[in-house]
Amino acid sequence: MIIKLPEIGDINKKVEVIEIPVKVGEFIKKDDTIVVLESEKATIDLPSPNEGTITKILIKEGENIYSGKSIMELEDIINKKVILNKEKSIAQAGPAAKLMARKLGIDLETDKIIGSGKKNCILKEDLKSYIKDKRIESSEDNTDQNVKNILSVSAKKLHNSWRNIPHVTHFDELDITKVEKFRKTIKYELGIKITLLSFFIKVCSCALQKFSKFNRLLDFKTNKRNFQKSSHNNISIAINTSKGLLVPVIKHVDKKNIIDIALELKEITKRTLIGKNKIDDMMGGCFTISNLGIIGGKGFTPIINSPEIGILGIGKTNIKPIWTGKQFKPTTMLPICLSYDHRFINGVYAAKFIKFIIKLLTDIRNWIVC
């Protein structure tokens, strides 16, 4: 069986092989990581589509590869299972320890394990301690490297975006009193935790349909706006992780309701934070939202996530005295900001875009236009 690199969005988009954690002759299970790839947006673990023994590795670390590239070959898993079922000639381990070693992928012939049983016999407890120590060691070795890889990619991407794109940022604020009341009603009645970010994702989807200039990707080769139908209403979400900034994508937002979006946002955020993103999770975005509301801040200038041409920033809610015409009323206000590529979006168009978002979030009844 030949394993090939699956589709990673743009068929002409290359990714770098930064690690091959397996070797020829090794038996792997389905979904085991066989290659670690680095794209412009993230470091991604590529899982094996099947189980079997690796007979050939057709790529090397540092190589740039494309979708469809042959990565490695696996032999018939039935033959391998026959080999795995044979007893190993280990004198200092009992049957239970041998069985456990096979399940954990430990080679008792080559791995240096000191037994704590009689006559240094290896026990199941020894195997557990060995695995624990190896995981700690592996974590210490790999964490710094993974962090450096992702931070390096993110830094390069952000620097290029800031250097090459003429950013303009529009600042505004909105009254979220009604939408917050509605959000809490859903939470209490349905028992589903829905964050304000879910509402922003849906509203941005509506705005992208009305203001289609924002729903375009920049073609770097021609430096022109290139409309991508496959990216229509796919919203990228900037998430801060221990390994750096990652930007997974919520797909086809226009076809999903608030509950669907909330559930998917929760799941994709969880996968992002623990480093279990799929390749497809990181591809296809057309507009990004960056939420700093939990941390705070009255406003900031978010950097555009190229090749997109717009990004919405969300600040922290605060209570402000707002004049109603008769009196000052304590009102829950939320600062927002919109950075856009001024080569393709002018100030008036951007102002209308953000005012439309404010209109929808100020009164949920305005969603009838979506």
**What token pair was written down for 171?**
């600042």
CATH 2.40.50.100 range(s) for the chain read: 2-78
**Cα distances (Å, whole numbers) of residue 46 to 14, 72, 144, 211, 282:** 14, 12, 20, 36, 13
Alpha helices, DSSP H only, in the chain?
77-84, 95-104, 124-164, 177-190, 196-210, 258-273, 347-362
Instruction: Give the position of tokens 């390749």.
Output: 279
Residue 217's pLDDT is what? 85
| Phi, psi (rounded to 5 degrees) for 69 | -70, 135
**Residues designated as active site:** 342
CA dist 132 and 283 (Å) reads 35
175-216 per-position pLDDT tens digit? 999 999 888 888 777 777 889 999 999 999 999 999 999 988
Instruction: Give the position of tokens 């699956």.
Output: 6
CATH 4.10.320.10 range(s) for the chain read: 91-164
103-137 per-position pLDDT tens digit? 666 777 656 677 777 777 888 777 777 776 665 44
CATH 3.30.559.10 range(s) for the chain read: 167-369
Residue 91's pLDDT is what? 41
Distance of CA 111 to the CA centre of its chain: 35
pLDDT in 10s for each residue of the chain, 370 residues: 888 888 765 445 678 888 888 888 888 888 788 888 877 666 677 888 888 889 999 998 888 888 888 889 988 554 444 333 333 644 477 767 777 777 666 777 656 677 777 777 888 777 777 776 665 444 445 444 554 555 666 677 788 888 889 999 999 999 999 999 888 888 777 777 889 999 999 999 999 999 999 988 876 655 566 655 444 689 999 998 877 788 999 999 999 999 999 999 999 998 888 888 877 888 889 999 999 887 877 889 999 998 899 999 999 998 999 988 899 999 999 999 999 999 999 999 999 999 999 999 998 788 876 6
For domain 167-369, give the fold.
Answer: Chloramphenicol Acetyltransferase (3.30.559)
- State the burial class of residue 282 (Cβ atoms within 10 Å of its Cβ: 0-12, 13-18, 19+): buried
- State the burial class of residue 72 (Cβ atoms within 10 Å of its Cβ: 0-12, 13-18, 19+): buried
According to the 3-state scheme, what is the secondary structure of 63-86?
A: CEECCCCEEEEECCHHHHHHHHCC
CATH of region 2-78, choose from 3.30.70.2190, 1.10.3720.10, 2.60.200.20, 2.40.50.100: 2.40.50.100
CATH of region 91-164, choose from 1.10.10.10, 4.10.320.10, 3.40.50.1860, 1.20.120.450: 4.10.320.10
Neighbouring residues of 138: CB distance < 8 A, sequence distance ≥ 6? none
Residue 145's pLDDT is what? 52
Neighbouring residues of 231: CB distance < 8 A, sequence distance ≥ 6? 215, 217, 284, 285, 286
Q: What is the mean pLDDT of the chain?
A: 81
CA dist 198 and 109 (Å) reads 53
Residue 82's pLDDT is what? 37
Beta strand 33-38 pairing with 167-175: unpaired
Across-strand partners of 291? 314
**What token pair was written down for 166?**
């003429």
Residue 81's pLDDT is what? 44
